[in-house]
Amino acid sequence: MLGIFCGTDITSNEEYKKYLKKRNYKLAVLFLIGVVTLVVSILAQRLWKVNIPEYILGTYMGFGSGLTAASIVLFLKNRRLLKEEERLRMARVELSDERNRQISTEATKIALMVLIIAMYLVMLIGGLWYPVLMKVLCFLICLFVAAYGVAYKIVSKRI
Amino acid sequence: MKTRIQELRKQRKITQSELADALDVTRQTIISLESGKYKASLVLAHKIAQYFQLSIEDIFIFEEEENLC
């Protein structure tokens, strides 16, 4: 399964090696974000005595652990790929295959549509009891529409 | 879109994996192309035509509405 923000038109193993090395730097940043999230969630209650509900702290810890673990696993996977040429070629073909990229694009469009509809319904119904929920979701939907408009202009000038 | 890829591949006794490796795509893409479920991009169609040493029109069967007149 191709990742949501993955997919590339790289055509050679050498280019793919450079792509993987750049990805490893991004994974290092993700690892740091995960660690910081974990540390903040641990320190928040124990050291800073912040009055946050347990489940919120649990969520932070979950995100922190998940980001840390995922970045380590992907980093090690990339390092292994960089050492084995045949695996590297298969991974490159999987990522750059045009059909896979089209599937990923279509799946992203559908998922985005589902997300927007869900956000709108939650905004409509949840907003009756929690006005702040309505404001936040309304802002996010407007942000999506604005970002889409800007991105459309930029991409249409590029191609 | 119908294609003659499977027919040409079998004539030359090439497996789907071998064709996929030669074209730098996955085997699933070859399967989808042969079944007509997936339409190749211009670049891929050109590569397939070069591989079989034929023209694109000899491999890909265009429907009436896909032609100019």
Q: Which residue in chain A is spatially nearest to B21 when comparing CA positions?
A: A93
- How many beta carbons lie within 10 A of that of residue A77, not counting itself? 14
Q: What is the pLDDT of residue A11?
A: 82
pLDDT at residue A70 is higher than 70: yes
Which of A94, A98, A100 comes nearest B41 by C-beta?
A: A98
Backbone torsions φ then ψ of A12, nearest 5 degrees: -135, 155
Q: What is the pLDDT of residue A4?
A: 60
Residues in contact with A63: Cβ distance below 8 Å, sequence separation at least 6, in sequence order: A34, A37
DSSP character string of B9-69: HHHTT--HHHHHHHHTS-HHHHHHHHHTSSPPPHHHHHHHHHHHTS-HHHHEE--GGGS--
Q: Which residue in chain A is spatially nearest to B20 when comparing CA positions?
A: A93
- Please give the model's pTM, rounded to 2 decimal places: 0.81
- Average pLDDT score, chain A: 89
Backbone torsions φ then ψ of B2, nearest 5 degrees: -80, 145
Reported ipTM: the value is 0.88
Contacting residues of B for A99, CB less than 8 Å apart: 25-26, 28-29, 32, 38
pLDDT at residue A3 is higher than 80: no
Q: Do B38 and A100 touch (CB under 8 A)?
A: no
